[in-house]
Structure 1
Amino acid sequence: MSAGRSVRAGRRTLEIHRPDKVLFAPRDGGDGNGDGEGGGEGDGPEYTKADLVEYYRSVAPYLLPQLRDRPLMLERYPDGVGGPRFMQKNVSAHYPDWIARVEVAKEGGTVRHPVCQDTATLVYLADQASLTLHRWLSRTGHLDRPDRLVFDLDPSGEDDFPLCRKAAHHLGELLDALGLPSVLMTTGSRGLHVVVPLNGRHGYDEVRAFARDVADTLAAAHPDRLTTAARKKDRGDRLYLDVQRNAYAQTAVAPWSVRARPGAPVAAPLAWDQLDDPGLHARRWTLADAADQARTDPWGDLLRTGRALGPARRRLDALR
């Protein structure tokens, strides 16, 4: 068993336990679910827990603004991506007191979600083998009012990314026509997310209904390529415009999160003009090079000012 290692993270020094523990082995790549989603054998380099910690330290300046004040759900792989997956919402009893928490009501009790406010928390979660961070679309002060709207462009197959590009272009053009700025990110899995900043004054039901109407409008314009059908059997080979993440207590993968897929791909923000790069695909950036993409600051200040949905709703109704 490998010895621990101390890492400086902001004002704190943390002990990394078993830093040489292999999380991504060359012959691994499954997601621990037994559903085949994570890929197969043989592709991708080896990455250890120390590599994961160093990656999250390197992207902290870009990731933390996307996490602050948001409840998290952690996707953990204590035995590496070839082992079991744990989806964790509740803060464990052994978590240090300096990690922020938020208590959220649920049927029959409450859930105490971790909240990542600083680099030390990010490093601690990486030491817990939290590969992927899934965040709420609202913040702790206003849990019922999201300030992000997410469209998940989910192609039917691994090789359908060209359709994903076209769908993103169509969606971006429609959002522009509605007066809503948007940003783009790879999921690190198969598709893309298009994210719209909101002013946080609308409830989840209103936001999801608006997102559904946008998706329905787009699917009606391209019925042979796009669908809003929730059941896979009803989609055929069309791309699914998924808006279900825009519901209370649902989460979306956080930008710059590592995914449990072969090669350790990352959910990476990109600029709209990168969408036509012939080398682009959903797993284009990995733990090895995503920090370089982060330093280009592809989103810039585009998420700083959220929009109201009222004017966009009136424009959408006029189009339908």
Structure 2
Amino acid sequence: MASPQILVVPGPEGEREVRLSSPDKVVWPATDDGGAITKANLAAYLMAVGEPLLRALADRPVTLQRVRDGIEGEVFYSKNPPKGVPEWVRTTMVTYPSGRSHPQLVVDELATAVWAAQMGTVTFHPWPVRSADNDHPDEIRIDLDPEPGLGFTDVVEVARGLRKVMEGVGLTPFVKTTGSRGVHVFAAIEPRLEFLEVRHAVIGVARELERTMPDLVTTSWWKEERGQRVFVDFNQATRDRTLAAAWSPRVLPGGPVSVPMTWEQLGQIGPGELTVRTVPEWLAEHGDAWEDLHAEPGTIDAAYALWEADLERGLGELNFPPDHPKMPGEPRRVQPSRKRHDLPDPEDRPAPRRARASTDQAD
């Protein structure tokens, strides 16, 4: 085992030293496409993509997806900051669906990301909020998740359809690979509405896309109802749900990375080709396609109007994640094939309607 390595990491307040124990410890085992990727390789990768990675992480609460003994060992999530957080690392208080609150890490500088890698972090999962206001998202995030039997070209087709729907309601969509089989589509929004309202706007967009591409798109929460279609995961807009950050590695074989790209680039390269080994060169050649993500935040009012129109059509709330409190109007949390239709759900209530929000920041 190699001796500990001291990395000198530049930062906003000068250089910081980060101790990397066991730098040759394997994070990703060797594959047919290349040798093993070590902790030192991971730290070097983070330093190579530091500037755009920080654009995705800085000033946000971040959940850490960590591993013990590499990606083939135990994988777990850290919402509380790991023990031994350096005194120069910032945290922020966040509130969870249960109502409890506790601090989460904020990755404001590259040394924090490298230290997190030293603590076994592979994937960074930032919240769609800023540290000064953890209740009003400033990003819409939509995960396009293909069911088995579909290929990446199908997901790309759906992503392009989603782009048209989002642009039709005044949003500017940005796209990235996930590091797996799907695609993530983001849009910057004014941090004016709270999580439930943003989620409803996303459901409105998802249902509109489903109407546009019914043979390829589904909003069905239950897998048994999806068929061979791409699921538009509206619950990524729910409080305490996060996606892998732009430029973040994934806990998957080969060291894949979630990579921002232009709409023209989408589909020209397979997501499996974008890895910890290859992405620094990709970034040097193509730059950060998400550099201007927050240059002109949009409003979700028109997207929310889609939700309101669906309420008039008789369409209501959709299922929340199973660890989320039961919400008004939510369908029964029973797999459709096991549902007893003769038994009413005592918690069935109409979906909430909101008062029209002003253009000012919500309280």
Q: Give the 3 Å change call, closer, same or farther, for CA 43–157 of structure 1 in structure 2.
A: farther
CA contact (8 A) 1:256 1:266 kept: yes
Note the C-alpha offset of 1:317. Answer: 7.0
Per-residue deviation, residues 19-59 of structure 1 (Å, max 9, x unmatched): 000111126xxxxxxxxxxxxxx665310000000000111
The within-5 A match list for 1:36-75 is: 44-75=34-65
Residue 61 of structure 2 aligns with an amino acid whose one-letter code is P
- SS of 1:142 mapped into structure 2: coil
Residue 227 of structure 1 aligns with an amino acid whose one-letter code is T
Residue 289 of structure 2 aligns with an amino acid whose one-letter code is P
Distance 1:75 1:98 in 2: 21
Correspondence for 1:136: 127
Correspondence for 1:147: 138
Distance 2:27 2:232 in 1: 32
Note the C-alpha offset of 1:300. Answer: 3.2
CA contact (8 A) 1:44 1:262 kept: no
Correspondence for 2:68: 78
Q: Give the 3 Å change call, closer, same or farther, for CA 122–158 of structure 1 in structure 2.
A: farther
Distance 2:245 2:214 in 1: 30
Correspondence for 1:209: 200
Aligned residues: 304
Distance 2:106 2:133 in 1: 14
**For structure 1, which segment, 224-233 or 154-163, has the greater mean C-alpha deviation from structure 2 after superposition?**
154-163
Distance 1:144 1:307 in 2: 18
Note the C-alpha offset of 1:313. Answer: 4.2
Correspondence for 1:114: 105
**For structure 1, which segment, 149-158 or 299-308, has the greater mean C-alpha deviation from structure 2 after superposition?**
299-308
1:174 equivalent to 2:178? Answer no
Correspondence for 1:31: none
Note the C-alpha offset of 1:63. Answer: 0.6
Correspondence for 1:39: none
Q: Give the 3 Å change call, closer, same or farther, for CA 100–135 of structure 1 in structure 2.
A: same
The within-5 A match list for 1:202-241 is: 202-241=193-232
Per-residue deviation, residues 90-110 of structure 1 (Å, max 9, x unmatched): 112311111111122444743
Q: Which structure is richer in relative contact order (CA contacts within 8 A, separation 6 or more)?
A: 1
Find the partner of 2:29 among 11, 25, 29: 25
Distance 1:315 1:143 in 2: 25
Distance 2:248 2:296 in 1: 23
Note the C-alpha offset of 1:6. Answer: 0.9
- SS of 1:85 mapped into structure 2: strand
List runs of 5+ in structure 2 lacking aligned partners: 314-363
Residue 14 of structure 1 aligns with an amino acid whose one-letter code is V
Identical residues among aligned pairs (%): 32
The within-5 A match list for 1:6-17 is: 6-10=6-10, 11-17=15-21
Q: Give the 3 Å change call, closer, same or farther, for CA 118–5 of structure 1 in structure 2.
A: same
RMSD: 2.0
Correspondence for 1:30: none
Distance 2:120 2:211 in 1: 42
Distance 1:220 1:171 in 2: 11
Note the C-alpha offset of 1:311. Answer: 4.2
Per-residue deviation, residues 91-137 of structure 1 (Å, max 9, x unmatched): 12311111111122444743221110001101101111200011101
Residue 286 of structure 1 aligns with an amino acid whose one-letter code is T
- SS of 2:271 mapped into structure 1: coil
Correspondence for 1:293: 282
Q: Give the 3 Å change call, closer, same or farther, for CA 68–206 of structure 1 in structure 2.
A: same
Note the C-alpha offset of 1:158. Answer: 7.0
CA contact (8 A) 1:149 1:196 kept: yes
Distance 2:99 2:204 in 1: 33
Note the C-alpha offset of 1:312. Answer: 4.6
Correspondence for 2:327: none
1:90 equivalent to 2:80? Answer yes
- SS of 1:121 mapped into structure 2: helix
Note the C-alpha offset of 1:294. Answer: 2.8
Correspondence for 2:340: none
Distance 2:222 2:306 in 1: 29
Note the C-alpha offset of 1:299. Answer: 2.2
Correspondence for 1:35: none
1:265 equivalent to 2:256? Answer yes
- SS of 2:197 mapped into structure 1: helix
Note the C-alpha offset of 1:267. Answer: 0.5
CA contact (8 A) 1:44 1:264 kept: no
Distance 1:148 1:62 in 2: 17
Distance 2:198 2:77 in 1: 26
Find the partner of 1:185 among 176, 180, 192: 176
Note the C-alpha offset of 1:310. Answer: 2.0
Q: Give the 3 Å change call, closer, same or farther, for CA 240–8 of structure 1 in structure 2.
A: same
Correspondence for 2:116: 125
List runs of 5+ in structure 1 lacking aligned partners: 28-41
- SS of 2:187 mapped into structure 1: strand
Distance 1:191 1:233 in 2: 19
